[in-house]
Structure 1
Amino acid sequence: MPDVVELLADLGGVARRGVLLAVVDRGSLEASVAGGSVVRVGRGLYALPGADDAVRVAAHLGGVVSHTNAALQHGWGVKTLPDRPHVVVPRGRKVGRRRALAHVHYADLAPGDVVDGVTSPAVTLRHCLRALPVDEALAVADSALRESGCHRLLEEVAEEARGPGAPRVRRIADLATELAANPFESVLRAICLEVPGLEVRPQVTITDGGFRARADLADERLRIVCEADSFAWHGSRSALASDARRYNRMVVAGWIVLRFTYEDVMFHPEEVRAVLLRAVALAEVLVEVGSGGGAAA
């Protein structure tokens, strides 16, 4: 059975009880909470340790929880847990040596910008999309749509963006989708966006006769499938057998199937990018010679 901590890491550091219990048993979840490797940060909401420290640190600095820590408080996954909490304090506030406790940001927030000591969903999206690297920002935006269904709110954040970074906010908002299963897939998609000629969509259904399979990411023109393979989700023998059959059927249906691990996507993106570049070159040749295969829907 998957480890609860590994599963939470794949889900971006935070997940609701129902999502976790669909993969692990109740006893494992309760044991992890009792042992301190998992913390309960809200009603039915669980996170990795550190997610709940942000509220305490923000109060100590006289500020509010922000950026990725605010995202976690809203139940949104992130690429990786921050090494220190992100905190917004009023402009001019002197924090002195306490600065070492957090990533300190200065801004004057309106009363409506803060909810229970945490930046509101709108402000959190604005901060994350403007300040974070593209892969991290996309992970937050995808998760916000998936967990909160806040499509209109994200549109408003993009429409109201002004000044430095505004084009970037609008681009990430346009790319965001609730179809991304977790931050792992979001980060893999962000890497794909950097590869010339590659245009992937999430959760594409591939058919070949009576065979149907859902690909994590797929470029239908080049017939390239990118799978985000995690031990936490595929760690059992039955899951391994099922995946092997699925991958083999996609290959014989004429698709190039690339499988990427969590570690490579999160920590070695240059290796992932290099493989994708070569796959695109190969696929372009196959397209030119009229390679056939199954259909995508």
Structure 2
Amino acid sequence: MASVVEVLARLGGSATSAELARATTRAALKAAVEQGEVERLTRGIYGLPILGADKMAAIAYDGVVSHLSAAVAWKLPLLVRPEKPHITVPVKRRPRPGRPVVMHWAAVSSAERIGRMTSLLRTVLDCARILPFGEALAVADAALATGQLSRDELEAAATAMRGPGRPNALRIAAAAIDRSESFLESMLRSLLIAERIDGFEPQLLVDTGGTLARVDLGYRSAQVALEAEGYEFHGSAGDFAADCRRYDDLVAAGWLVLRFTYQQVLGDPRWVVETVRSAVAQRSPAANDRR
């Protein structure tokens, strides 16, 4: 007779007690639970710990992993990972006691029920419902960068949305790009968008006189480059030297390079905005004409 773990693995990781009874014994199930090999998810339903807390919660409530938890599963960047699983259940489902979760009520498609998780598109829209603009934009940028979601699909879905978060979703769909290379870069760009500082192009290639330098955000006419400096460490001394040379080449070519850290973008956004605004104002063609 197969072990309880083997039976559950064959059944996709979870099963009802009735399904398990056809392939194993109650004594074996009880022993597997006591040994921590199997978890009782809710009354009459058991699962393997390898499913993870989020999916086990979704099965326990007969819902789907959604919102911030789905963003984690899709490997989309978040400022703060959720402490409890976000689970969406059908609208008419009554609340019931169970595992600690953040519960949402909404329509759930058959495909989502099968996979126990919201689609990439729906995850982006769900995050737009509950996250601030900058954080939700970072989620949308990363989703577009996967190549599994198009800007047109996102805009159409945001337009069709109803209920809380629609205005935020529409702004995000209009601003999201597939070229952002980091959460911090998206957050920096969101500050410019919120303050209506136009003219910056993401991942701009600048000719520095024989070589091309890529900048996170570049303003061509004012020759101002913005760099979002995260915690990432340069992989080698050679990488560090190449990065320094890129900055030097930009400065030698007449560009002003402003480098903003994670702490500055997240902790002092007003200073970041005013610094960028001042730099652009000083270096704009109109300002140069007055000198």
Distance, in Å, in 2 between the alignment partners of 1:173 and 1:161 is: 12
Q: Counterpart of 1:174 in structure 2: which amino acid?
A: A
Q: Check if 1:95 corresponds to 2:96.
A: yes
Following superposition, the deviation at residue 249 of structure 1 comes to 1.8
1:280 to 277, 282, 291: 277
Following superposition, the deviation at residue 188 of structure 1 comes to 1.8
Following superposition, the deviation at residue 196 of structure 1 comes to 4.1
Q: Counterpart of 2:283 in structure 1: which amino acid?
A: L
Q: Counterpart of 1:118 in structure 2: which amino acid?
A: M
Partner of 1:262: 262
Following superposition, the deviation at residue 198 of structure 1 comes to 4.2
1:127 partner SS: helix
1:197 partner SS: coil
Partner of 2:153: 153
Distance, in Å, in 2 between the alignment partners of 1:214 and 1:228 is: 12
Distance, in Å, in 1 between the alignment partners of 2:269 and 2:245 is: 24
Name the Cα RMSD after superposition.
2.5
Following superposition, the deviation at residue 209 of structure 1 comes to 1.8
Identical columns (%): 34
Alignment deviations for residues 206-233 of structure 1 (CA, whole Å, 9 cap, x no partner): 1122131000112224322111223425
Partner of 1:134: 133
Distance, in Å, in 1 between the alignment partners of 2:197 and 2:109 is: 44
Partner of 1:30: none
Following superposition, the deviation at residue 132 of structure 1 comes to 1.7
Q: Structure 1's 225 and 272: CA in aligned 2 closer, same or farther, altered over 3 A? A: farther
2:288 to 283, 287, 290: 290
Distance, in Å, in 2 between the alignment partners of 1:279 and 1:77 is: 25
Following superposition, the deviation at residue 245 of structure 1 comes to 1.4
Does the 8 Å contact 2:215/2:227 carry over to 1? yes
Partner of 1:47: none
Partner of 1:197: 197
Q: Structure 1's 262 and 159: CA in aligned 2 closer, same or farther, altered over 3 A? A: same
Q: Counterpart of 2:154 in structure 1: which amino acid?
A: L
Q: Structure 1's 263 and 55: CA in aligned 2 closer, same or farther, altered over 3 A? A: farther
2:288 partner SS: coil
Following superposition, the deviation at residue 68 of structure 1 comes to 2.2
Within a 5 Å distance, the mapping from 1:209-288 to structure 2 comes to 209-234=209-234, 236-265=236-265, 267-268=266-267, 271-287=268-284, 288=286
Partner of 2:175: 175
Distance, in Å, in 1 between the alignment partners of 2:230 and 2:68 is: 23
Does the 8 Å contact 1:200/1:219 carry over to 2? yes
Q: Counterpart of 1:276 in structure 2: which amino acid?
A: V
Higher RCO (C-alpha 8 Å, min separation 6): 1
Q: Which has the larger radius of gyration?
A: 2
Moved more, 76-85 or 175-184: 76-85
Distance, in Å, in 2 between the alignment partners of 1:78 and 1:155 is: 21
Q: Counterpart of 1:290 in structure 2: which amino acid?
A: N
Moved more, 160-169 or 202-211: 160-169
Distance, in Å, in 2 between the alignment partners of 1:109 and 1:61 is: 13
Gaps of at least 5 residues in structure 1 are 1-50, 292-297
TM-score w.r.t. structure 2 length? 0.71
TM-score w.r.t. structure 1 length? 0.70
Following superposition, the deviation at residue 71 of structure 1 comes to 2.3
Distance, in Å, in 2 between the alignment partners of 1:88 and 1:133 is: 20
Does the 8 Å contact 2:55/2:65 carry over to 1? yes
Gaps of at least 5 residues in structure 2 are 1-50
Following superposition, the deviation at residue 278 of structure 1 comes to 2.5
Distance, in Å, in 1 between the alignment partners of 2:154 and 2:208 is: 37
Alignment deviations for residues 138-183 of structure 1 (CA, whole Å, 9 cap, x no partner): 1111111111331143233123123443232122112111101122
